[in-house]
Amino acid sequence: MTATTIRRDRILGVDIARAVAILGMVMVHFGPYEPDTSTTVGWIYRTSYGRASMLFVMLAGVGVSMLFRGTERGRPDAARRRTLAWTKVAWRAVVFLPLGLLLQMLPTPVAVILHYYAAYYVVGGLGAMLPTRWLVAVTAGWTVLGPSLYVALFGTALSVRGITENPLDVVGVAGDILVTGFYPVLTWGPAVLVGVLVGRADLRDRATQGILLVGGAIVATAAYGASELARATSTAAANSPYLLAEGHSGTPLNVVGAVAVAVAVLGASLLVGSLVPRLSWPLVAVGQMALTVYTGHLLVLAVAPEWLEGRGSVEDAVFQVARFFVVTTVLCTLWRWRVNRGPLEWLLALPFEARRGDRPLTPRVRNDSWPYPTPPHIPSASTESLTSVPRHSAPPTPSSTSWSGTAPPSR
């Protein structure tokens, strides 16, 4: 087996959803802090705020769910697979925690989310160990109680969210990740668990994809509609923080609405990936390198913000976002044409493939997920695909960064 082959069973729609999250992320990071929603363009632009990040977190749960496939008690070799899954979860936490804290020290206005993933993965792993009926109950209870407790303690204003400046302040960092930060586990944990539940479904099934799209859209409409309707009934309701559904408010309706949007986007992405896999492959390439893209855009934003920011107006921001996304898509597609992983995605996979003697960042002989004709001078490679578990075991995981391990947004 060579390192230049890659999983042929990868679910492309999950990568497309990550690319959509990347697009939403840069819209938030490059554009006005408070877009003018009185225009159609401004309203559409504003929809990414607080939803792109929730999409990434939900996809993290999907990835963790796939890591734990085949680990149910009574399955052949379940104990070994469970150990391997937890080892991968631990390694992701080891990578994301310091990387996120280092990126947060850059001179950017971004509230970095990467170090929160250290806790998200643990939450997802614990959720993946539960039977489905218990997982549904825990997710539903957490969705109501967690955000309600948060609003009671801190309210809904972003100004009270903490960013611990000293990465060596263990207590401060832990407090931010769990309770007081911009993306605390207390309110964002339900998104991870919903992703774990979604990851247990057959995501290649066309009916499942439609259910995710339609069901997510219905729940999102109900959540946001209930918020608007209730707040319009009386002054008391309008002033109640518990009825707010605005992005990053941390309320139950905010969590339900944003997670439902994420599920709908995943359903749509899965449909696109199954209907037009070749046409959508440039988006797949971006999604497969999302961790690298996320880290790279923060570095550029810190060094040369004038290249990326369009704070003055939504129109300026649209131009900057479009230029960045087109260039990024071209670069990611060209990289994936020649190399089977992004640089930081390679880091996530390194311990598990290196022990098999693979070199996962070498130029590929053939990439089985590449949908276009391979140049004639490149010979065929082994047809064996890289999987998270041996060929005789349960279905493999879709990516080395499964959310699959690709960079989350911040906001």
Tens of pLDDT along 266-303?
999 999 999 999 999 999 999 999 999 999 999 999 99
Distance, in Å, from the CA atom of 145 to the CA atom of 226, rounded to the nearest integer, reads: 18
Tokens describing residue 203: 């995501």
pLDDT for position 163: 81
pLDDT for position 396: 37
Q: How many degrees, rounded to 5, is the angle at CA 328 between CA 323 and CA 330? A: 100
Q: How far is CA 16 from CA 12, 196, 211, 261, 276, in A?
A: 6, 18, 18, 15, 11
pLDDT for position 3: 35
pLDDT for position 354: 54
Distance, in Å, from the CA atom of 344 to the CA atom of 288, rounded to the nearest integer, reads: 11
Tokens describing residue 207: 């009916």
Q: How many residues appear in the chain?
A: 411
Phi/psi at 171 (nearest 5 deg)? -65, -45
Which distant-in-sequence residues (6+ apart) come within 8 Å of 244 by Cβ? 156, 227, 231, 251, 253, 254
Q: How many degrees, rounded to 5, is the angle at CA 62 between CA 250 and CA 124? A: 65
Number of H helices, E strands in the chain: 15, 0
Distance, in Å, from the CA atom of 406 to the CA atom of 411, rounded to the nearest integer, reads: 16
Phi/psi at 284 (nearest 5 deg)? -60, -40
Distance, in Å, from the CA atom of 164 to the CA atom of 410, rounded to the nearest integer, reads: 15
pLDDT for position 232: 86
Largest pairwise CA distance in the chain: 71
Stretches in the chain below the pLDDT threshold 70: 1-9, 158-160, 354-411
The residue type of 163 is I
pLDDT for position 356: 53
pTM to 2 decimal places:
0.84
- Reduced to 3 states (helix: H, G, I; strand: E, B; else coil), residue 404 is strand
pLDDT for position 384: 32
pLDDT for position 167: 86
- Reduced to 3 states (helix: H, G, I; strand: E, B; else coil), residue 405 is strand
pLDDT for position 376: 38
Percentage of residues of the chain with pLDDT beyond 70:
83
CA 331 to chain centre: 21
pLDDT for position 307: 84
331 contacts 300 by C-beta, under 8 angstroms: no
